[in-house]
Every structure is written in structure tokens, then in C-alpha cells.
Amino acid sequence: MTTAIAPPENICRQYWVLTKPRVTQLAVFCAVIGMFLATPGLPELKTVVAATVGIWLLAAAAFAMNCLIEQQVDARMTRTAQRATAQGAIASHHVFAMSSLLGGVGMFVLYYWVNSLTMWLTFATFVGYAIIYTMFLKPRTSQNIVIGGLSGAMPPALGWAAVADSVPAEAWLLVLIIFVWTPPHFWALALYRNKDYEKSGLPMLPVTHGQQFTRLHILLYSVALLATTTLPFVMRMNGWLYLASAWLLGGWFIWLAWKLYKNYSDELSKQLFKYSIIYLSLLFAALLLDHWFITP
């Protein structure tokens, strides 16, 4: 009896999936917006390309390390059971080597073609997500996504640092927006995946405090998010185009959160989760369009 060998393209795809490409793309998109907001004109193309590559590599390394650390947890969850790490299809030391290689190359790119501030901030983000959040916060507290959300909120600051070699208050305001956005985004997923998280043993908010408590906090955070996204206009960082976009997008976010709070269904929870991704993309696109065409 011979053992079937997976074709090379399948192996490559398994490694690719471990980098969580969709999440990585959203993080890199927010970082690129930060790059363009950091300067009145257009940033240097060389810097944008190098920073994008470096940040992408370190983000991919962090997600691969997350899959490695959580392989036993992933194996118990329907949503993640097909990952190569959860199935044991890829050896742990191979995943560790891949993550180390991606991270090392990413740091090299950022240090030599961008600046040392961006490299160290991105490395700190890697440590915050892959180590502090994954190993210590996520398995120990129901507020894991709130506390650990800071590392996931850092991309705009990384992009800003890449172009300006500094991280002013405006950059941290963008970080704050993603920080407030993260809990309702992730709790919407946790609600309709509640059974999965029960099996995983992770103390996610719907598991530890129940569905009603989680729905209330999603609603409260959605209101806080609208208030937070108004701050760039208040601080004269952006103009009316952005403000109108933030209110329209935020108003719909609150409406979906209210519907979810009043009458729960998995379908509504999925709808809010999917919308939250579209919401963040459109909000940051509005930031950039206003920066180019409205704000003097």
C-alpha cells in the first residue's frame, strides 16, 4: 500500500491558507490608506511598495504563527478544522519555519527600504497578536478581543510611520477606530459560531456571558463606533464627505446591531459580521477620498 502524495499546488494552497489571506488583505489595505493620509500629496511609490510588502509579510507570519499555536483548538472547531495545522497535514516545525522566514524577510524589507520605526512597530504588532493575544489573552479572558484588539488595530499607524517616520495623533485616531470596531465585528462571528467556541474551550463572550449580554455589547460598541468615527471631522483631519460617509455607514451598523439585539437569528449575526468588513473598507476609502478631494 502506497501513501498518496499531495500535489505541489495543493501544498502551496495549504500554506497560503495559513496566512489568512483575506484578513491580511484588509489589514494591508488599512495600512496603505495610512500611508496616503500621512502626506498632503502622493507618497513615494518606492516607499509604498516596500512598506506594503513588508507589512504583508509580517502580517502573514503572525497569522501562520496563530494557526500553529491554536492547532488543537482549531481541530475542535468546524470553521477551522480544515486547516492544515489542525489536520496535521503540515508539520509544526515547517509552519514555524515559514512564519520565521516571512517575518524575517518582512523585517529586512522594512528596515532597509522603509525605516526602523515601521519595522519595530510592525514587529511589536506581530508579538502582540501572535504571542500576547493568541497565547495569553484569548484562552484566559472573555475580554480577549477587546484587549488584544490593539494589535489588530495597528495597520494605519504602521502605514503612517512608513511615510512620515512618525506616528502623530491623527494616526492613533485611525488605530482607535479599528480598536472600537473590532469587538462588535468579532462578537457577531462568535454569536453564530457559539457552538464551535463552546467546543473549543475558549472563553469567548457569548460562551461566558450569554447571547443577550453579547448582543447588548455589540449594540453599545456600534454606538461608540459612530462617535469615534466622528472624531476625524471634529479634529479637522477630514471634511464633510468623510463625515457624511461615517454617519451613513455607522447608522446602518447601529441599525443592524439594534435588529440583532431585539430579535436574534444566526442570519442577522452573519449579516452584521459581513457588513462590518464592508463597513471598515468603505470608511477608510472615504477617509482617503475626502483627504484628496475635500480637505485642504
Q: Give the pLDDT of residue 21.
A: 94
SS (H, E, C) 195-256: HHHHHHCCCCHHHHHCHHHHHHHHHHHHHHHHHHHHHHHHCCCCCHHHHHHHHHHHHHHHHH
Low-confidence ranges of the chain (pLDDT < 70): 1-9, 295-296
> In which domain, by residue range, is 262 found?
168-296
Whole-number Å distance between alpha carbons of 228 and 233 = 10
Q: By the 8 A CB rule, do 283 and 246 touch?
A: yes
Q: Give the pLDDT of residue 4.
A: 44
Domain count for the chain: 2
Q: Give the pLDDT of residue 11.
A: 84
We report the CATH number of the domain holding residue 51 as 1.10.357.140
Helices 240-262 & 169-192 angle (0-180, nearest 10): 20
Same domain, 101 and 200: no
Same domain, 202 and 148: no
Same domain, 61 and 205: no
Q: By the 8 A CB rule, do 188 and 218 touch?
A: yes
Same domain, 46 and 112: yes
